[in-house]
């Protein structure tokens, strides 16, 4: 009886471990079956028409500064501690994530000055890098026997491909967003799965869960850009998206900083 229970438990554990692969494969198959997903016809028509110091779409432009602040703060606090045991495993990915945030501030600001598809390329590419970096970091920290450099390189290549695919297919008249949307959606599925399967610390799961929820909320406000602006004509949904996504990134960086402090305090108590 105990032996059968042990075998059944082991089998369920193996199935559970395979869930990230199964979900990734299923999402990929569904997207392929769905066919091309084109960008909305009026995508570049944002609600924010503000002007500040001669800068057009000023709220959408300057709200990107949040990404730069989080990226610089993260590099300042984490780079000197990159060899620390609490973040070393995921550092390659976290470094890419922070670089992606800084480039997002620049690329998205550049895009919102005069929105069009040519500029949108430089908005989407760093976002793809940030998603790839986060996936790489969390996978390296939780999944055993991961080749960190190879994993990060593969994800970077896919990030480039996902944006290039949209840009090239758009040049031929039907921009296909499927690979880009696939990459953006993967962290929402895989990070909670990896952290649950491999029993990540509760504080990590809470922080990452909160950040992912903020990011989902940011995407919702992006969809309702004009509707939110019409509520009070104070702030648009897209501006809110930038702010919420910056806060989400700040939650992640804050958790990494706290990890180092906690480990340092534990080390001091052992001395």
The fourth-level CATH superfamily of domain 47-270 is: Rhodopsin 7-helix transmembrane proteins (1.20.1070.10)
Torsion angles phi and psi, residue 44, rounded to 5? -85, 0
Q: If pLDDT is split at 50, 70 and 90, which confidence band does 15 have?
A: confident
For residue range 135-194, list pLDDT tens digits in order.
999 999 999 989 999 999 999 999 999 999 999 999 988 899 999 999 999 999 999 999
For residue range 116-140, list pLDDT tens digits in order.
999 999 999 999 999 999 999 999 9
Report d(CA 81, CA 193) in Å as an integer.
Answer: 27
pTM: 0.92
- Contact present, 63 and 52 (Cβ < 8 Å): no
271 vs 129, more confident? 129
Report d(CA 124, CA 114) in Å as an integer.
Answer: 15
Torsion angles phi and psi, residue 56, rounded to 5? -75, 155
For residue range 197-215, list pLDDT tens digits in order.
999 999 999 999 999 999 9
- Contact present, 64 and 242 (Cβ < 8 Å): yes
For residue range 18-49, list pLDDT tens digits in order.
899 999 999 999 999 999 999 988 999 999 99
Write the CB contacts of 218 (distance below 8 Å, at least 6 apart in sequence).
240, 241, 242, 244, 245, 248
Torsion angles phi and psi, residue 210, rounded to 5? -65, -40
């Amino acid at each position: 009886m105990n032996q059968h229970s042990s075998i059944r438990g082991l089998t369920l554990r193996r199935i559970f471990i395979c869930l990230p692969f199964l979900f990734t494969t299923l999402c990929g198959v569904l997207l392929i079956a769905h066919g091309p997903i084109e960008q909305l016809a009026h995508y570049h028509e944002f609600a924010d028409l503000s002007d500040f110091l001669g800068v057009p779409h000023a709220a959408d432009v300057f709200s990107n500064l949040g990404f730069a602040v989080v990226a610089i703060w993260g590099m300042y606090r984490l780079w000197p501690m990159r060899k620390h045991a609490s973040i070393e495993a995921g550092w390659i990915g976290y470094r890419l994530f922070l670089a992606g945030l800084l480039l997002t501030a620049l690329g998205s600001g550049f895009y919102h000055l005069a929105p069009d598809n040519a500029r949108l390329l430089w908005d989407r590419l760093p976002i793809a890098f940030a998603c790839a970096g986060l996936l790489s970091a969390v996978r390296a920290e939780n999944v055993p026997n991961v080749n960190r450099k190879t994993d990060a390189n593969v994800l970077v290549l896919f990030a480039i491909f996902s944006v290039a695919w949209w840009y090239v297919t758009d040049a031929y008249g039907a921009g296909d967003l499927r690979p880009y949307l696939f990459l953006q959606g993967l962290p929402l599925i895989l990070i909670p799965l990896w952290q649950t399967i491999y029993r990540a610390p509760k504080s990590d799961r809470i922080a990452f869960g909160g950040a992912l929820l903020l990011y989902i909320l940011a995407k919702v406000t992006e969809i309702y850009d004009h509707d939110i602006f019409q509520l009070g004509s104070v702030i648009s949904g897209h501006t809110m998206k930038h702010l919420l996504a910056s806060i989400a990134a700040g939650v992640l960086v804050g958790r990494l900083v706290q990890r180092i402090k906690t480990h340092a305090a534990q080390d001091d108590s052992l001395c």
